[in-house]
C-alpha cells in the first residue's frame, strides 16, 4: 500500500475520532483500513511445496492476501496442480473475490476432473450469485465423485431450498443428516441460514431441520431447531401437531413445555 493511501486513511481516522469526541453513545461503526500484507514476499528460490505450505499457514492465520501471494508463486512453478488451484480459489472466496475464485475453481477442475471439492466450491460461487440451478448441477457432480460428503448434500439442499423446491431440499438434507448429524451445527453462524433472503425462509429452514431430526429419532436436536423456528417466528408452527415425524416427540414433556412458551409473535 502506498504512503499516500496510508496517509489518507490515517487522516480519515483522525477526523472521525475528533468528530466523535465528547459523545457518550458507544454504538458506532468504525471504518478500518483494508487488509494489508504482513508476511515477507515469497522467495523465488523456494520450491512449489514450500510455497504452498507457507500459504497454508498464512491462510490458517486468516492472512489471505499473503496466502494468495504464496499460492500464486507456487502455481507459477506448478500451474497444473488442481488441489493448489482449489486452495487459491478458497482464499479468493474468503476475500469475496467471487469472479477470481470461480476462475480458480474452474482451473482446478480442468487440471483434475476427479477433484470433488473444487466442483462443490464452484457450486458455492453460483449459489452466492443466486444462480441456484447451476449450483445444483455442480453439487450433484461433486456428490457423484464423493457420495459420502455430508457438506455436499447440505449445500445441495440449500440450493433447492432457495428455489422453493422443498421436497428435493428435504431429501438432500436428510442424506446430509444421515452422513453427519452435526453438519448444520458446523455451519450455523455463516452458512446456509445466514445466506437466506428472508426471515420467513430462515424460520422455515429451522422447522425443516427440526422435522428431519424428529424423523431420525434425535429428540434433542429436533427440539433445538424447533425452538429456533419459533424464535424466528415460523408462522406454520402448528403443523408440528399434525406432521407424522413429530408423533413420538409430542409425548416428550420438553415438547409440551416448549410449545406452551411460544413467543408472543407466533399466534396460538
Q: Does residue 209 form part of some domain?
A: no
* Dihedral sign, Cα of residue 6, residue 100, residue 84, residue 91: positive
258 neighbors 234 (Cβ within 8 angstroms)? no
Residue 106: CB atoms within 10 A of its CB come to: 16
Q: Does residue 164 form part of some domain?
A: no
Residue 8: pLDDT over 70: no
Q: Does residue 207 form part of some domain?
A: no
Domain count, the chain: 1
pLDDT tens-digit series, residues 235-251? 999 999 999 999 999 99
Q: What average pLDDT is seen over the chain?
A: 85
* C-alpha dist (Å) from residue 80 to 25, 69, 74, 75, 103: 54, 17, 11, 8, 14
pLDDT tens-digit series, residues 130-188? 999 999 999 999 999 999 999 999 999 999 999 999 999 999 999 999 999 898 876 54
* C-alpha dist (Å) from residue 27 to 24, 30, 33, 234: 9, 10, 19, 30
Q: Does residue 222 form part of some domain?
A: no
What is the extent of the structural domain holding 70?
47-113
Which residues of 27-94 form beta strands (DSSP E)?
A: none
Q: What is the pTM of this model?
A: 0.75
Per-residue confidence (pLDDT) for residue 31, from 0 to 100: 58
Distance CA 213, CA 89 (A): 34
Closest CA to 223 of 212, 234, 233: 212
Residue 113: CB atoms within 10 A of its CB come to: 11
108 neighbors 82 (Cβ within 8 angstroms)? yes
Q: Does residue 87 form part of some domain?
A: yes
Q: Does residue 132 form part of some domain?
A: no
Which CATH number goes with the domain that contains 82?
1.25.40.10
* C-alpha dist (Å) from residue 75 to 55, 60, 93, 94, 175: 11, 19, 17, 19, 36
Looking at residue 245, the DSSP 8-state letter turns out to be: G
pLDDT tens-digit series, residues 67-80? 999 999 999 999 99
pLDDT tens-digit series, residues 31-48? 555 666 777 888 889 999
159 neighbors 139 (Cβ within 8 angstroms)? yes
Q: Does residue 89 form part of some domain?
A: yes
Q: Does residue 83 form part of some domain?
A: yes
Amino acid at each position: 500500500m502506498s504512503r499516500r493511501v496510508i496517509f489518507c486513511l490515517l487522516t480519515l481516522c483522525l477526523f472521525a475520532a475528533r468528530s466523535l469526541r465528547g459523545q457518550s453513545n458507544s454504538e458506532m461503526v468504525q471504518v478500518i483500513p483494508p487488509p494489508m500484507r504482513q508476511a515477507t514476499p515469497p522467495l523465488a528460490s523456494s520450491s512449489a511445496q514450500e510455497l504452498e505450505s507457507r500459504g497454508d499457514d498464512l491462510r490458517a492465520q486468516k492472512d489471505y492476501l499473503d496466502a494468495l501471494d504464496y499460492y500464486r508463486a507456487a502455481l507459477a512453478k506448478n500451474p497444473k496442480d488442481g488441489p493448489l488451484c482449489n486452495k487459491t480459489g478458497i482464499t479468493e472466496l474468503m476475500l469475496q473475490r467471487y469472479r477470481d475464485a470461480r476462475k480458480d475453481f474452474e482451473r482446478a477442475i480442468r487440471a483434475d476432473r476427479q477433484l470433488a471439492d473444487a466442483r462443490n466450491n464452484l457450486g458455492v460461487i453460483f449459489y452466492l450469485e443466486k444462480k441456484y440451478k447451476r449450483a445444483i448441477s455442480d453439487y450433484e457432480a461433486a456428490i457423484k465423485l464423493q457420495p459420502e460428503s455430508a457438506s455436499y448434500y447440505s449445500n445441495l439442499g440449500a440450493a433447492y431450498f432457495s428455489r422453493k423446491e422443498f421436497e428435493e431440499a428435504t431429501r438432500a438434507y436428510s442424506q446430509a443428516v444421515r452422513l453427519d448429524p452435526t453438519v448444520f451445527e458446523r455451519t450455523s453462524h455463516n452458512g446456509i441460514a445466514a445466506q437466506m433472503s428472508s426471515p420467513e425462509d430462515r424460520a422455515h429452514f429451522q422447522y425443516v431441520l427440526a422435522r428431519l431430526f424428529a424423523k431420525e429419532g434425535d429428540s434433542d436436536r429436533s427440539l433445538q431447531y424447533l425452538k429456533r423456528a419459533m424464535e424466528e417466528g415460523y408462522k406454520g408452527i402448528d403443523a408440528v401437531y399434525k406432521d407424522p415425524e413429530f408423533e413420538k416427540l409430542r409425548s416428550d414433556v420438553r415438547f409440551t413445555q416448549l410449545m406452551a412458551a411460544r413467543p408472543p409473535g407466533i399466534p396460538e
